[in-house]
Amino acid sequence: MNLKRQINDIPDFPKQGILFRDIAPILANPEAMNEVLEQLAKVAKEVGAKKIAAFESRGFVFGAPLAAMLGLPFIMLRKKGKLPGRTVSASYKLEYGEAVLEMQEGVITPGERVLLVDDLLATGGTSKAGMILIEKVGGVVAGLAYVIELAGLSGRKVLWGYPVYTLVAYDD
């Protein structure tokens, strides 16, 4: 299946000059969703992942069913203040300012191999924060897997030295 055909281009969203890559058609098509999950499962097996972590919120859409499909634990990476209990955090830069990503304490033990999953790789800032969280608690970033990569934004440079997998890439 050609997954690129399952992604809608929405011009000028969320603001003028932005071309938004919409994953809603993938989610609305069980065959496309299964294809995405099967391809991500191959990545998870290839890198020897023992846990799947994903970023809120669109990363959850792919990460949680992937973890269930593989029989692996799922870890939520969320914005500051959204998780109960004790958390570990990492800051990352946004276009205008900074944000904080959190993960619950105790969900990763030292040496565990974790695959990070998200819908989109753009500049890599959020992914870098996720990597910092995993490594902060002694986990191993086994790889990073994305449905879409906006290659023109050079997010891979931020993730240099780590295995990065994408299912669909756009150069613009």
- Mapped to the 3 state alphabet, what secondary structure does the chain carry? CCHHHHCEEEECCCCCCCEEEECHHHHHCHHHHHHHHHHHHHHHHHCCCCEEEEECCHHHHHHHHHHHHHCCCEEEEEECCCCCCCEEEEEEEECCEEEEEEEECCCCCCCCEEEEEEEEECCCHHHHHHHHHHHHCCCEEEEEEEEEEEHHHCHHHHCCCCCEEEEEEECC
What CATH number labels 48-170? 3.40.50.2020
Query: What b/e sequence results for 54-70 when a residue is b if at least 16 CB atoms lie within 10 Å of its CB, and e otherwise?
Result: bbbeebbbbbbbbbeeb
**Residue 70 near residue 37, CB atoms below 8 Å:** no
Q: What is the pLDDT along the chain (172 residues), one digit of tens a residue?
A: 999 999 999 999 999 999 999 999 999 999 999 999 999 999 999 999 999 999 999 999 999 999 999 999 999 999 999 999 999 999 988 767 788 999 999 999 999 999 999 999 999 999 999 999 999 999 999 999 999 999 999 999 999 999 999 999 999 7
Q: Are 118 and 129 in contact (CB under 8 A)?
A: no
pLDDT of residue 85: 96
CB atoms within 10 A of CB 130: 26
- How do the domains of the chain map onto residue ranges? 48-170
* Single-letter residue type at 40: L
Please report the pLDDT score of residue 92 as a whole number. Answer: 86
Quick one: pLDDT at residue 95?
A: 64
- Can you tell me the distance from the alpha carbon of 59 to that of 145, in angstroms, rounded to the nearest whole number? 10
Token pair belonging to 146: 């994305």
- Looking at residue 155, its pLDDT comes to 94
Which residues are designated catalytic?
Answer: 58, 95
Residue 139 falls in which region: left (phi positive, over 0), alpha (psi -120 to 50) or beta: beta
